[in-house]
Amino acid sequence: MEIIGWMFTLEGWVALATLTLLEIVLGIDNVIFVSIAASKLPIAVRARARKIGLFLAMFLRIALLAFLTTLAGLTDPLFELMGRGFSWRDMILGFGGLYLVYKATIEISDMVRAKSFDEHAGPKTTNDMFLLVVAQIAIVDVVFAIDSILTAVGMTNHLPIMVAAVVIAVLVMMFASGIVSAFIEKNPTTKMLALVFLFMIGLVLIADGMGFHIERAYIYVVVIFSIVVETLNTIMRGVMEKHALQNIIKMDIDENSENDPVSDSDRG
């Protein structure tokens, strides 16, 4: 009865809604990473890689939630360096941030050099790349989820509510990652913007792991502003391309009219 008892209380539903919203909001950067990681695969298997990776991540999150006592120990100092204690959480965030910085740097380098999928894959087969991408999605998701999981543990002591919130959030991410992935692939400049965003998030995670907390809200404001500017640029480019196409068509019509004049006598 304890498993479903929360469903009959207003407090339980409020906790579920709050945790789900928290998981979704904190999962925005994860959705972007998932979209970029899967872009290295052939189009035919990208959606499958995203779904499998997020499913694995969901089970890893639930496993972490199941070990609540272990999670509580994540914030206990393991050692001290320069007068500051470092915990498992700090190291996970720090190394996770380093990986994101590395990943974003490599991806930006590939875009600048216009490196293709085949060149990037090298001797690896598609299956090898598929497994690598799935593993990256699952592991990085856990790094992104550390803070949200610890927050969830602090907000409620009902494991079923936390598990339900994680499942709902992952399902939303599965849906959103497909849309975000398609949009990023169609707009290379947006992909570059997303990579810069990942780079910034990596730096934030490193700083957090070193004890310097930076509110992600500041990063989100910068990114939202950049997205608005990029959207306006995209609209402007579309209008300019439309006008250019209309001018080309008009010039072709005028040129054809000059090359094939028809006099009134011929018409008669």
Predicted local distance difference test score (pLDDT) of residue 222: 76
| Cα dist from 101 to 90, 106, 120, 151, 216, whole Å | 16, 9, 18, 25, 16
> Please, where are the H alpha helices in 88-125?
88-112, 117-121
Burial string for 76-96 (b: 16+ CB within 10 Å, else e) reads: eeeeeeeeeebbbbbebbbeb
Closest CA to 178 of 27, 24, 22, 34: 34
pLDDT at residue 72, rounded to an integer: 57
pLDDT at 145: 73
Helix (H, G, I), strand (E, B) or coil at 87: strand
Provide the token pair at 115: 């490196």
CB 105 within 8 Å of CB 199: yes
Q: What residues are paired with 84 via a beta bridge?
A: 81
C-alpha neighbours within 13 Å on the C-beta side of residue 267: 5
pLDDT of res. 119 = 47
SS3 31: helix
Q: Per-residue pLDDT tens for 71-125? A: 556 667 777 877 778 887 788 778 888 888 888 888 788 777 765 544 444 545 6
Let me know: does 168 contact 84? Beta carbons within 8 Å: no
pLDDT score of 268 more than 60: no
Average pLDDT for residues 237-246, to the nearest whole number?
78
Could you give the count of Cα atoms lying within 13 Å of 4 in the half-sphere of its Cβ?
1
From CA 261, how far away is CA 152, in angstroms rounded? 78
Q: Is 84 helix (H, G, I), strand (E, B) or coil?
A: strand
pLDDT tens sequence across 22-45: 777 767 777 888 888 888 788 888
> pLDDT (tens digit, 9 = 90+) per residue, 143-155?
777 766 766 666 6
Q: Which of 41-55, 58-72, 107-121, 152-166 has the highest mean pLDDT?
A: 41-55
**Cα–Cα distance, 17 to 229 (Å, whole number):** 32
Residue whose entry in the numeric block shows the structure tokens 């700083």: 207
Give me the pLDDT at residue 26, please.
66
**Residue 192: Cβ-neighbour burial (10 angstroms; 0-12, 13-18, 19+):** middle
- C-beta separation of 158 from 205 below 8 A: no
65 close to 166: Cβ distance less than 8 angstroms: yes
Contact criterion met (CB below 8 Å) for 75 and 149: no
Check whether 225 has a pLDDT greater than 50.
yes
Min mean pLDDT across 44-53, 91-100, 237-246 is at 237-246
